[in-house]
Amino acid sequence: MSYLHAMTCYTEGIKVLAPVKWRSLDGLVGVFWDAEGQSGAKGYYLSPDPRIVIFFSDVSPFIQMTNREGGMAAHARPMTRAVYVPAGVPLWTSFTSSHRFSHLDLHLHKDRMLRFLSPSVGMSCALAALRRPVEIQDVGAIETLAGLLVDEVSTPTKHAVYAESLVGSIVSGLLDVSDHGTELPNGRLTQAQLNKLIMHVNTRSDGRLSVAEMAETVGLSESWFANVFKQTTGKTPLQWQLARRIDLAQKLLVESELSITDIAAQLGFSDQAHLTKTFRQIVGGTPAAWRRMQQFN
């Protein structure tokens, strides 16, 4: 399949440090970058095709990302080692400090990805996987595969089928190709989706996300997410999130000397009374009484 990728790309404060290496294959293009971003550097990327980005070092302390326009302040999350961006999903990035990095970009035609996946998992599951974004920090064997692919992109030594098979292994290893997802037959979230949601919530100091943001994190519609979330956890998304905020309150009560008023403000409760009422409903006592009890244990 003859394929030329198209992407809208805008960057500021990012410079390329070595000649870009790229190779066009059957229905995909691999591009290897070695670059550096200054503190405050930023980028915007939008492609009509699916794409994968794999970093060869940990960039999470240096690069933030968001899929919401103007959302860097409120919705930013650390960039992970490997990212799958579905077709048509925008991505904004911002550097919190200067950092040199290298990464492999894979631009893939949708039909090529379906050819990788559908013979093994079925067309319905493959289509669902293509719609679900993926962000992972523990890249494991994917980094090894990406390194082998970079060698073939930079200096081809084997038939193209070798490089294409590496891409296929990366796709199948990175994407969520389980039987669960947008069309979840048993109405439950996967453990991978729950882990991703927990990681995202943990990046917020107040532990708060809207249901729409939670649904977007795992690649589901808001209405479907609310339904399958309760089937999975036994709680509504807001009940689950409220319980996690109370867990954070307990952690702050034990590990800090913050007043209950300050804890309430930090965790997004309207006032101390609101925190106390919610805390009593979930824990069975007031924050003050619970803190005193911990001090004597």
Six token digits for residue 98: 């200067």
Question: Which DSSP symbol is given to 64?
Answer: E
Q: What is the pLDDT of residues 7-63, one digit of tens each?
A: 899 999 999 999 999 999 999 999 999 999 999 999 999 999 999 999 999 999 999
pLDDT of residue 184: 44
Six token digits for residue 208: 């708060």
| Contact yes or no for 282/242 (Cβ under 8 A) | yes
Residue 135's beta-bridge partner residues? 83
User: Which H/E stretch holds residue 101?
Assistant: strand 99-108
Please state the φ and ψ torsions of residue 142, each to the nearest 5 degrees. Answer: -60, -35
Cα separation, 242 vs 207, whole angstroms = 8
Amino acid at site 68 = R
Residues of the chain with pLDDT under 50: 179-186
pLDDT of residue 87: 92
User: At which residue do the structure tokens 């992972």 appear?
Assistant: 136
Amino acid at site 91 = L
Cα separation, 297 vs 293, whole angstroms = 6
Please state the φ and ψ torsions of residue 38, each to the nearest 5 degrees. Answer: -80, 160
Name residues whose C-beta falls within 8 Å of residue 172's C-beta, 6 or more positions apart in sequence: 116, 117, 120
Cα separation, 175 vs 132, whole angstroms = 8
Which CATH code fits 240-296? 1.10.10.60
Six token digits for residue 114: 């379906």
Fold (topology level) of 8-174: Jelly Rolls (2.60.120)
Please state the φ and ψ torsions of residue 54, each to the nearest 5 degrees. Answer: -125, 120
pLDDT of residue 215: 84
Cα separation, 61 vs 78, whole angstroms = 7
Residue in 252, 249, 257, 240 with CA at minimum distance from that of residue 279: 249
Cα separation, 2 vs 279, whole angstroms = 60
| Contact yes or no for 245/268 (Cβ under 8 A) | yes
Question: Which DSSP symbol is given to 5?
Answer: -
Q: How far is CA 132 from the centre of its chain?
A: 10
pLDDT of residue 178: 61
pLDDT of residue 182: 43
pLDDT of residue 102: 97
pLDDT of residue 156: 93
Six token digits for residue 57: 């070092």
